[in-house]
Chain A
Amino acid sequence: MFGKMVTGATILATALTLQTGSVSAEETLFVPSLSYRTGPFAANGIPIANGFADYFTMLNERDGGIGGVKVTVEECETGYNAQKGVECYEATKGKGALVYNPYSTGITLQLIPKAPVDKIPVLSMGYGLSAAAIGEKFPWTFNYPATYWDQMSSIIKYIDGKEGGIKGKKIGFIYLDVGYGKEPIPLLDQLAEEMGFTVVKFPVGVKEMQNQSSHWLNVRKERPDWMIMWGWGAMNATAIKEAAKTRYPMDRFIGNWWSGANVDLEPAGEAGKGYIAANMAAAGTDMPAIQDILKYVVDAGKSKVAERSDVGKVLYNRGVLNAVVVAEAIRTAQEMTGKKMITGEDMRLGLENLDFSAERMAELGLPGFTAPIKASCENHGSGGSIFLHQWNGSGWETITDLIPPMTEKVRAMLEEAADKYVADKPDWQTQDCG
């Protein structure tokens, strides 16, 4: 009899626990974070994951979440590996995931076809497939504030504005030899033809990330007027050290926004002085929202940052920006649907109708944090401006105003690429924005 009572009590307790768990899960907005805190790219993955998680923790602590509903951020370790990324997606999509931020172009390419099937949008913020900016062809994928093609065109525009233009110049392009690094090549080749400059490419294999002396010997041989880098992980710091070793002029070496973090330049220190990189989110902690993160999260011991000074660094703030955009899209979706608890489909609406203006940034305590982002049915990402910052030996200094992309050139190419992507997929889901 006693045994039966114990068994019954155990079953009841288990059932209650499960019920409580499910109720709790229903009451939070679930945002998976496909992070990489291990592996060859961990040094860059860690600050992004920290910034992303800390902003939501701050919203939960300070405001009680978004629209009165707390946000649950669940990290899943991908190691920057596409296969593991898909496993993470499959493991978390059933928990009510609102949006996926893959933080890897390789993983993004895998998730793009899954998004319309599972009705969970993908936000590859400033990376991924450039053509996904065409909203009619990619209703479930977003890549604002700018695509890689936009970013490359802004960098070319910057170079074109120096010393009598880019015509006749030789541009060296050093890139991680994976999908991410190759992504801007079609645009670069097209612009070279149209604007009259030549391109020399230096692909760096993942195995050679920390063994680049051959590549930089080739740079010395080719003597490009400018170098552009599409690097990630340990490749960046090694490239900058090798450039300094080869005595390549640092103020003619421009990285994209994944090649310009503190972790990339701190090892080089003074040797990296003059190096330029693109950026999309202001660094630093002198913004009220970042101060709130310090107060409600870091100082309260609820952050994973190793040191308080990690807050405000380039990639940390990039993670914060990603979280802010997701939070704003959730808020937009809540307002549009009138629901507190939204679904992936609602989230897609929120992302598509996002209007992240300068005024809204100021309201959120992030004045001038990034270029305004305004999405639409047609435009899921293209057109955002970037700014350039320069390493002064110990930190970054912004050296340009916002540089808009060459939209007239880029948009046509994006549309062509989007058409090509869907051409051999008869069941591909598009949308009519007319």
Chain B
Amino acid sequence: MELLYNIFVDPFAQMVSTPDFLLQVLWEGFVTGTLYALIALGYVLIFKASGVFNFAQGIMVVFAALSLVGFYEAGVPAWLALLLALGIMAVLAVGTERLVLRHMVNQEEIILFMATIGLSYFLIGSGELIFGGETKSMITEELGLPTGSTVLDVAGGIVILQHIDIAAAVIAALMVAALAFFFSKTRIGRALRAVADDHQAALSVGISLNQIWAVVWFAAGIVALATGIMWGARSDVSFALQIVALKALPVLILGGFTSIPGAIIGGLIIGMGEKLFEVYWGGLMGGGVEGWFAYVIALIFLLFRPQGLFGEKIIERI
């Protein structure tokens, strides 16, 4: 009886009795979800262009952020360091296309996936060699990003809003809008969708596969840099950050591997869902449940929509 009470009554009673805390939980879930969505966006971009899950996206986030901080620590002004970090991601995109992807046109997707695992290890090793293994602080203020917090009085309690979190939400929204425009309204965006459907068919109508791949990897690099800055501002830049990127997996399962809105909505559902469950129900299981609960949410959705919320329904002729 007590168990039933703890599951079905007590959490909701807590939500009603402390609405300020509920708002704080929802806000933290929203911000975390936004950041999950940013990571997932990087995966979606590559998947849309090549049908491959880019295992290296997590380390790309770390590599981009470390490049930015590394240039700044070397005495380069913050704005120039940002441009140089973007340059690094451009070089990485072109290099990946020239040295890896170009040789794998029309190969099985699993081969491309394995190549991204190799790329991941290459970036880990070279990143540690170049930047060292120490944790670095993100240059939040130097980049002009807001710091500090605003405290709202809500129903006799407080809700604390970190300014960097608000900035993360705004930047994520802008990136989604820009990417949606890029994919639907530009010639390269349409060509990219054609490549995603069929490499050979796209080649036969004169689309440059190599150029498209380089462009999309660069776009994923930009998303990685934005993600690295935002996560780094919250909890510093270290190689442990690449593990957080795995949180994008349930987001992708939920939102669909090819949908940009899916990444956003999926991110928010996972982010807010796991926070609510951890805070109000996690104690019943000893805490630390959000690590697996995200997958539970994704699997529940998967039962009803195997292609994800916004994924394309695949119909194949037999």
Contacts and interface: CB of A to CB of B under 8 A. Distances in A.
Interface of A: 37-43, 45-46, 177, 201-215, 217-218, 220-221, 233-234, 237-238, 241-242, 245-247, 263, 266-267, 306
A247 B282 contact: no
Given A38-B133, A43-B238, 4 more contacts: A41-B240, A43-B134, A46-B134, A214-B282
Given A218-B278, A221-B279, A211 B32 contact: yes
Given A218-B282, A241-B234, A40 B240 contact: yes
Interface in B115-129: 124, 128
B133 A45 contact: yes
A267 B137 contact: yes
Given A204-B288, A220-B24, A245-B162, A210 B240 contact: yes
Contacts of B149: 245
Contacts of A46: 132-134
Given A214-B282, A218-B279, A218-B283, A207 B32 contact: no
Interface stretch (B40-48, B192-200, B243-251, B254-262): B243-251
Interface string B280-315: 001100111011000000000000000000000000
Contact of B133 (A37, A210, A220, A241): A37
B111 to A, nearest CB: 27
8 contacts: A42-B239, A202-B287, A205-B288, A210-B231, A210-B236, A211-B244, A215-B278, A241-B235
Given A201-B286, A220-B21, A263-B135, A214 B275 contact: yes
Contacts of A207: 243-244, 246-247, 291
B88 interface: no
Top 3 A-B pairs ranked by shortest CB distance? A42-B133, A40-B240, A203-B288
Contact of B160 (A39, A45, A247): A247
Given A217-B275, A220-B21, A238-B235, A203 B137 contact: no
Contacts of A245: 149, 160, 162
A234 to B, nearest CB: 4
B25 interface: yes
A251 B223 CA distance: 39
B21 A205 contact: no
A213 B137 CA distance: 18
B28 interface: yes
A214 B133 contact: no
B241 interface: yes
Interface of B: 14, 21, 24-25, 28, 31-32, 124, 128, 132-135, 137, 149, 160, 162, 231, 234-236, 238-241, 243-244, 246-247, 274-275, 278-279, 282-283, 286-288, 290-291
Contacts of A203: 286-288
A213 B282 CA distance: 14
B238 to A, nearest CB: 5
Contacts of B278: 214-215, 217-218
A209 B243 contact: yes
Contacts of B160: 245-247
A217 B25 contact: yes
B28 A217 contact: yes
Given A38-B133, A207-B291, A221 B238 contact: no
A218 B288 CA distance: 10
A203 B247 CA distance: 18
Nearest to B236: A267
Nearest to A43: B135
Give the interface centre of A43, A46, A206 by most chain B CB atoms within 10 Å: A43
Nearest to A46: B133
Contacts of A42: 128, 132-134, 238-239
Give the interface centre of B134, B231, B286 by most chain A CB atoms within 10 Å: B134
B288 A237 contact: no
Given A40-B238, A221-B21, A237-B235, A214 B137 contact: no
B244 A210 contact: yes
A49 to B, nearest CB: 10
A238 B241 CA distance: 11
Contacts of A37: 128, 133
Contact of B275 (A213, A242, A267, A306): A213
Contacts of B241: 210, 234
